[in-house]
Chains A and B, each alone.
Chain A
Amino acid sequence: MYVYRCPHAHITLQSVISNLIFFEKCLADTADFILNFASMECYGEDVPHVLAVDDNLIDRKLVEKLLKSSSCRVTTAENGMRALEYLGLRENHQQNNGSKVNMIITDYCMPGMTGYELLQKIKESSWLKEVPVIIMSSENIPTRINECLEMGAEMFMLKPLKLSDVKKLRHQLTNVEVVKR
């Protein structure tokens, strides 16, 4: 009787599964790396990445275009919760898979979480608090402006935003980077 010894006898179902899981993680890491690398290639490392938060669709489109015209890479979020998720901050717990941004520009009046509350959460976070935050509002209310500046907002801007406003922002970004170095 011929007994055939399977050359792969040492491989169990368990080991196949754990290998597959490891392989999947490698694939995911590689994908991440490629995406980051690709975006760096497209945008270059000197291009600031701005997160723009506004619940109004038209305003989001406008601020996105304004920033892109000033050579920024832009990500938009429609509310504070989504912004925090993007930044990797969920319920005050730091999650290391958050995306890096050089500046956050947010509307003040938003349902759920106001721009002020978003600003507060960012400034309370140990790793996000250095990111400059700009608050926008259609209403010129001095107490509101002071409140935001005191909470650490870099600037307060009146809506609707114009090209000249964004030029000021861009200037701010380069200043911040110079100071950091």
Chain B
Amino acid sequence: MAAVVQLQRQFIEYTTSLYNEGYLDDQFTQLQKLQDESNPDFVVEVVSLFFEDSEKLLNNLATALQQKTVDYKQVDSHVHQFKGSSSSIGAQRVTNVCVHFRNFCEEKNLEGCLRCLQQAKHEYILVRNKLEALFRLEQQILQAGGSIPIME
């Protein structure tokens, strides 16, 4: 019983820090609110889709920026997708990088774009690790027989 309480406290502290440090925003809470008995794995499913999609996008971006003649419209289109999906799951820091990235695309600034790509990758890896840790904590709580605290 004490173990469950301890885990739940850890969960609350960790989640709070993710919001405070800007890794996640309110949109992530919206996702959690949508999870119910009819779809108990909704958040994990959507986030997994996001991971898959992001990795594809990051690869496409790297390829597009390596071309002899960079097609900035194509690059922008990928960034737009990335901005959209990160925003939809509440991965705020990734979305913010995408905003800057789009500006560099408009300016056709290769150096700026390459820097943003690195930043986007970095932020994506960070949020992916954080979310994976969060899901592991959830599993631990459930396995210990507890319930996941609801964050408001």
> Interface code A21-62, partner B: CB below 8 Å = 1, 0 otherwise?
000000000000000000000000000000000001111011
Asked whether A69 is an interface residue with its Cβ less than 8 Å from the other chain, the reply is: yes
* Bound Cα distance from A132 to B138, whole angstroms: 41
Interface of chain B residues 66 through 117 with chain A (CB within 8 A): 77, 80-81, 83-85, 87-90
* Bound Cα distance from A33 to B77, whole angstroms: 43
Nearest chain B CB to A152's CB is how many angstroms away?
Answer: 25
Interface centre among B30, B31, B80 (most CB of A within 10 A): B30
Given contacts A160-B27, A163-B30, A163-B34, contact A61 B49 (CB under 8 A): yes
> Do B84 and A59 touch across chains, with their CB atoms under 8 A apart?
yes
Question: What's the count of A-B pairs with C-beta under 8 Å?
Answer: 50
> Interface code A59-95, partner B: CB below 8 Å = 1, 0 otherwise?
1011001100100000000000000000000000000
Nearest chain A CB to B30's CB is how many angstroms away?
Answer: 5
> Interface code A146-178, partner B: CB below 8 Å = 1, 0 otherwise?
000000000000011011000000000000000
Asked whether B39 is an interface residue with its Cβ less than 8 Å from the other chain, the reply is: yes
The count of residues in chain B whose C-beta lies closer than 8 Å to any C-beta of chain A is: 23
Given contacts A58-B50, A162-B27, contact A66 B34 (CB under 8 A): yes
Nearest chain B CB to A140's CB is how many angstroms away?
Answer: 13
> Do A58 and B89 touch across chains, with their CB atoms under 8 A apart?
yes
Asked whether A138 is an interface residue with its Cβ less than 8 Å from the other chain, the reply is: yes
> Do A65 and B88 touch across chains, with their CB atoms under 8 A apart?
no
Asked whether A109 is an interface residue with its Cβ less than 8 Å from the other chain, the reply is: yes
Using Cβ atoms and an 8 Å threshold, which residues of chain A touch B46?
Answer: 58, 61-62, 65
Asked whether B55 is an interface residue with its Cβ less than 8 Å from the other chain, the reply is: no
Nearest chain A CB to B109's CB is how many angstroms away?
Answer: 21
* Bound Cα distance from A61 to B88, whole angstroms: 10
- The binding surface of chain A is classed by DSSP as helix
Asked whether B132 is an interface residue with its Cβ less than 8 Å from the other chain, the reply is: no
* Bound Cα distance from A109 to B76, whole angstroms: 12
> Interface code B14-51, partner A: CB below 8 Å = 1, 0 otherwise?
00000000000001001101101001001001100110
Nearest chain A CB to B111's CB is how many angstroms away?
Answer: 26
> Do A59 and B53 touch across chains, with their CB atoms under 8 A apart?
no
> Do A56 and B42 touch across chains, with their CB atoms under 8 A apart?
no
Using Cβ atoms and an 8 Å threshold, which residues of chain A touch B83?
Answer: 138
Nearest chain B CB to A98's CB is how many angstroms away?
Answer: 29
Nearest chain B CB to A61's CB is how many angstroms away?
Answer: 6
Using Cβ atoms and an 8 Å threshold, which residues of chain B touch A111?
Answer: 77
Cross-interface CB contact of B49 among A58, A159, A163, cutoff 8 Å: A58
* Bound Cα distance from A111 to B46, whole angstroms: 22
Closest to A59 in B: B88
Q: What are 13 of the A-B contact pairs (CB < 8 Å)?
A: A56-B81, A56-B88, A58-B89, A62-B31, A62-B34, A62-B46, A65-B39, A69-B34, A159-B84, A159-B88, A160-B87, A162-B27, A163-B33
A-B residue pairs, 4 tightest by C-beta: A58-B85, A160-B88, A162-B30, A65-B34
